[in-house]
Homo-oligomer: A and B are copies of this chain.
Amino acid sequence: MAKNFKNDAITSRDENFAQWYTDICRKAELMDYSNVKGFIIYLPYGFAMWEQIKNFMDRRFKETGHSNVYMPMLIPESLLQKEKDHVEGFAPECAVVTRGGTNELEDPLIIRPTSETLFSELYAKQVKSYRDLPKLYNQWCSVVRWEKTTRPFLRGSEFLWQEGHTVHATEEEAREETLRMRDIYVETCRDLLAIPLITGRKTEKEKFAGAEETYTIEALMHDGKVLQSGTSHYFGQGFAKAFDIKFLDKDNKQKYIYQTSWGASTRLLGAIIMVHGDDNGLVLPPRVAPTQVVIVPIQSQKPGVLDKAYEVKAQLEKAGIRVSVDDSDKSPGFKFAEAEMKGIPVRIELGPRDIEAGHCVIAKRNDGTKTTVDLNDELANTVLKTMDTIHEEMYAKAEEHLRTHITETNDYSQFGEILDTKGGYIKTNWCGDQECELKVKEDYQATSRCYEPDEASDDAVCPCCGKKAKHIIYYARAY
């Protein structure tokens, strides 16, 4: 009955995906705009999703030995300049504080665009001996990068994220850490957000400013475009040498440390919206949903209906389920549409006749199916199982979409049509030259998303230049 009740409020995905996205952000009350361009307001519903992501990742960071810290928001311009590649990457997008209190500042201060320089400076002080290693710090904060084109969650002048920064005695350990944290991002996407990924390394052109290697997780959106959703960097000894981070090793020699950093941001909220959403609104994976179940009483003025609704609520809460009762004076149809817009995974409908018959109706947001189930002690278990099923179904659907949108081809003349019609990834060979990457970008507005080094077959050639290929590479149009 609720179908198409409120959908008119949002543009259809196929009609205008960008407008659909913005509509969802606003109508599901995830965010609002402030008066400063690129600085958004995270409203309760959007922020609650971020809190779920934070809790999930933070637990895993702590389980793998990391501690949270908080570093200053402001970085002296002179400090940012210490690592050459790093400052070149970030200088053009800095917000600069030139006045503090009543004084003009001599050394202007940058609002952190990222905090490698601050962590490097701290580690240079803290690390003296191999006994002080590794140092495994993380911080949750917001960063500022001045952007010209901004979109909610996807690209903003300020965004929320975590940035982990670690130093190690050996290259091997640092490399392991880089991959370990990449794997936690993969786990977060798979187990919390029901998002399958392509992972691999960034090319020289696309990697992080100052990194030796950048590992990325890339998620495919419904419209065939790709979203970089988290990165993990291996720095080698670049910052160590620029900041003189040395330690006395067991063999009594002074050595430079090996360093990593890794970050994931509120971009993940954008990924959730664009991977799972539909024309009725958000579709939330149950584990990240702020409200997992909404109970909608039917004919709630009839005696016993509301009482039963609260009874069921208490029962589900006891099982750890995040549940609410919509006891507003709106019509059931309106309530259904609202719950759909908000992407609440499970809706329980409960009317006088249901109660009399001792059952209720469970509706799944992801596919609209309804089941009648008994109102008994098993209800909470049934709901928990239903949520697991929803998670699996959503993951499988997204994985199928991903699988069918990876086009393997070595025919350069096909690139344009593939990208224009079905989108997704082109999986192909690459010689390793940046020129070919640039050519793809110029010809087809697609960027290299990641590559697997040394994986091309012996007779493979680069489709761009015809030279012998070294690597497998993924190209796509990206956010």
A69 touches B47 (CB 8 A): yes
Nearest to A136 among chain B residues (CB) is: B44
Copies of this chain in the oligomer: 2
What is the CA–CA distance of A75 and B34 in the complex, to the nearest angstrom? 9
B118 touches A73 (CB 8 A): no
Q: Would you give the 0/1 interface string for A373-384, flagging 1 where the beta carbon is closer than 8 Å to chain B?
A: 000000000000
Q: A74-B158, A76-B36 are in contact. Are A95 and B99 (CB under 8 A)?
A: yes
Asked if A72 is at the interface (CB within 8 A of a chain B CB), the reply is yes
B144 touches A73 (CB 8 A): yes
Asked if A41 is at the interface (CB within 8 A of a chain B CB), the reply is yes
Q: A98-B99, A111-B111, A121-B35 are in contact. Are A69 and B92 (CB under 8 A)?
A: no
B residues less than 8 Å from A96 (CB atoms): 97-100
10 pairs of A and B residues whose beta carbons are closest in the complex: A101-B146, A44-B67, A39-B72, A42-B70, A96-B99, A100-B146, A34-B72, A98-B98, A95-B97, A95-B100
B41 touches A73 (CB 8 A): no
Which A residues from 144 to 193 make CB contacts under 8 A with B?
A: 144, 146, 148, 157-158, 160
B101 touches A92 (CB 8 A): yes
* A70 CB contact (under 8 Å) in B95, B108, B122, B142: B142
**22 A-B contacts (beta carbon < 8 Å):** A32-B122, A34-B71, A34-B121, A35-B76, A36-B75, A39-B73, A40-B72, A41-B70, A41-B72, A42-B69, A48-B67, A50-B70, A51-B68, A73-B111, A73-B144, A74-B158, A95-B99, A97-B97, A98-B98, A99-B108, A101-B146, A111-B111
Asked if A43 is at the interface (CB within 8 A of a chain B CB), the reply is yes
B residues less than 8 Å from A73 (CB atoms): 39, 73, 111, 142, 144, 158
Shortest C-beta distance, A393 to chain B (Å), equals 30
B102 touches A92 (CB 8 A): yes
Nearest to A143 among chain B residues (CB) is: B73
Asked if A109 is at the interface (CB within 8 A of a chain B CB), the reply is yes
Given A34-B118, A73-B73, A94-B99; 10 other pairs, CB 8 A cutoff: A34-B71, A36-B76, A44-B67, A44-B68, A73-B144, A74-B95, A92-B102, A96-B100, A98-B98, A111-B111
Q: A47-B67, A69-B42, A122-B41 are in contact. Are A35 and B79 (CB under 8 A)?
A: yes
